[in-house]
Amino acid sequence: MATAPADDGQARWYVLTANYRNEIKVRDDLRRLGLKSYVPMRYELRQRNGRKTRLLLPAISSLVFVRANRQAVEDYLSATRLPAYFRMSGQARQKQPIVVPDRDMENFIRVTQLVEEQLTYYHPEEIRLRVGDRIKVHGGVFDGVEGVLMRVPGKRSKQLVVSIPELAAVAVTVSPDVVELVDRTTGKSTDVEGDLKALFELSFRKLFAAPDRITQENEYNLLTAELKRTLERVRPHKGYTAQREGEISLAVFMGAKALGEDGGQEAERLKAAVDRLKDTSLLRLRLQLYYAVLGPDSGLMAAIGEKVDAWSKSPLSEQQRRFIEEWTKVSARPPQP
């Protein structure tokens, strides 16, 4: 998404805000003037007179897109009696109308115009759109659409997410066998907290989940690709505190092991992180646990087991209970190759 340059007569996709329930009126007004306009729609069930009615309504409240030169849009906004105006972006005195690049708008329209599809709409703050593999769909109703392939929170299936930054995102399920990798964007993570959590969870799943839980080769390959991408983002980071360095070194060590790397350098980093943490730290014990399992180090595993057994002689804290649950899961199943 960008802001509008000085009016050069070029047609662009501008974003308008229309008061609630006026989106369709504004869209139709623009079309009557010969201007291309778009409002994403979806079906909703509404209760009316005790009966459920299926209604086609705007999917994103107050949002109208129009493609025209800036002067034409300004002329419309100054003449219409409907409550509509440019959606602006930028600093207070430098605010400019928002412009959506043609390619982004084409992808967004291709997905959202299929109102019978199972689409999920999000506000930008409701979905974590991380830098990832950009893909292109081949075949089916979304043939040619580009977006980011990811797993949406709460959804088990793979989702194609097409977004207009700061405005909206829409997700639709796609089959992993009809996507092509367009480009891969990597680099140092800008969301360390989120990527650390994702890296640990992805690594744990690949290392300790039962093999029959990843039954599809496509899903296994997608999991591996996502794991590799997340590891590349996290690996360059260093922790400025013992706690953060411990968290980073653990996730990186597990990621390297999950991808079948030697992990020697990551193991040394993990051991150094252990030395920085206090003997009473449960994070220190977690680092030792995964080093012992993935090392492997049977002697260290036995020492951890003795410590866990000693805890049973006194009331357990919540953190100790959580560690015992983790210890049980990890020690019960050897890591998968």
Q: What is the pLDDT of residue 131?
A: 42
CA atoms of 275 and 284, how far apart (whole Å): 8
DSSP per residue, 239-280: -SSHHHHHHHHHHHHHHHHHTT---HHHHHHHHHHHHHS-TT
The tokens for 292 are: 């012992």
Q: Residue 249: how many CA atoms within 13 Å on its side-chain side? A: 30
CA distances from 36 to 12, 14, 31, 146 (A): 10, 11, 6, 22
Q: What pLDDT is attached to residue 156?
A: 56
Sign of CA dihedral 35, 40, 45, 48: negative
Q: Can you tell me whether residue 177 is helix, strand or coil?
A: helix
pLDDT at 242: 92
Distances (CA, A) of 73 to 65, 77, 322: 11, 6, 59
Cβ contacts of residue 214 below 8 Å, gap of 6+? 205, 206, 220, 223
Question: Other CB atoms closer than 10 Å to residue 324's CB: what's the count?
Answer: 14
Cis bond before residue 236 (omega within 30° of 0)? no
User: In Å, what is the CA distance from 85 to each residue of 63, 95, 98?
Assistant: 10, 13, 11
List phi, psi (to 5°) of 297. -140, 95
pLDDT on residue 11: 93
Tell me: the pLDDT tens digits for 200-219?
Answer: 888 888 888 755 555 555 55
Question: Residue 119, Cβ neighbours under 10 Å: how many?
Answer: 18
Take residue 261 and report the two structure tokens written for it. 């790397």
pLDDT of residue 221: 66
Looking at residue 144, its pLDDT comes to: 76
SS (H, E, C) 284-337: HHHHHHHHHHHCCCHHHHHHHHHHHHHHCCCCCCHHHHHHHHHHHHHHHCCCCC
pTM: 0.52
Category of 187 on φ-ψ map: left (φ > 0), alpha (ψ -120 to 50) or beta: left
For 166, the enclosing helix (H) or strand (E) is none
Positions of the chain with pLDDT under 50: 129-131
